[in-house]
């Protein structure tokens, strides 16, 4: 007896991709809100837009991060730190923090 499973499988993968897309969309919206909150803090505290501060110091921070991860090679197993999905990226950030 053969059972055609292609339809439910494709339906579930479609549902999964829709869910993944929606979670990515929510994640991006949250990051934008977070970005806005930081910008508000920077305007009030340092009187400088957040993106200007990050452009000025971000290269040094990224370089320090690269050196730290190169020296502590286990961090390179946290491949979610290169992920585009915000939830995965921030989950790995929390793991790094832990």
Partner 1 sequence: MAVVFAPRESLPAELAPGRSVATLIVMLARLRDVVMAAALALIMTIGLLLWLAFVAPAQWVINGIAGAPARSMLQSPMTAALRVGDREWSFVNAPRGSAALEGTTPSGYVQRPVSMKGALGAVVLWLLSLAGL
20 belongs to the binding site for partner 1 (CB under 8 A): no
Q: Which stretch binds partner 1 (CB under 8 A): 3-11, 15-23, 81-89?
A: 81-89
90 belongs to the binding site for partner 1 (CB under 8 A): yes
Q: Which stretch binds partner 1 (CB under 8 A): 3-11, 12-20, 74-82?
A: 74-82
61 belongs to the binding site for partner 1 (CB under 8 A): yes
Q: State the SS3 of the chain.
A: CCCCCHHHHHHHHHHHHHHHHHHHHHHHHHHHHHHHHHHHHHHHHCCCCHHHHHHHHHHHHHHHHHHHHHHCHHHHHCHHHHCCCHHHHHHHHHHHHC
């Amino acid at each position: 007896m053969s059972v055609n499973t292609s339809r439910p499988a494709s339906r579930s993968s479609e549902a999964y991709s829709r869910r993944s897309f929606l979670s990515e969309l929510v994640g991006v919206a949250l990051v934008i809100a977070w970005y806005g909150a930081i910008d508000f803090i920077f305007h009030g505290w340092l009187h400088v837009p957040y993106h200007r501060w990050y452009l000025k110091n971000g290269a040094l921070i990224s370089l320090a991060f690269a050196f730290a991860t190169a020296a502590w090679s286990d961090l390179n197993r946290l491949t979610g730190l290169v992920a585009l999905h915000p939830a995965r990226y921030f989950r790995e950030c929390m793991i790094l923090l832990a």
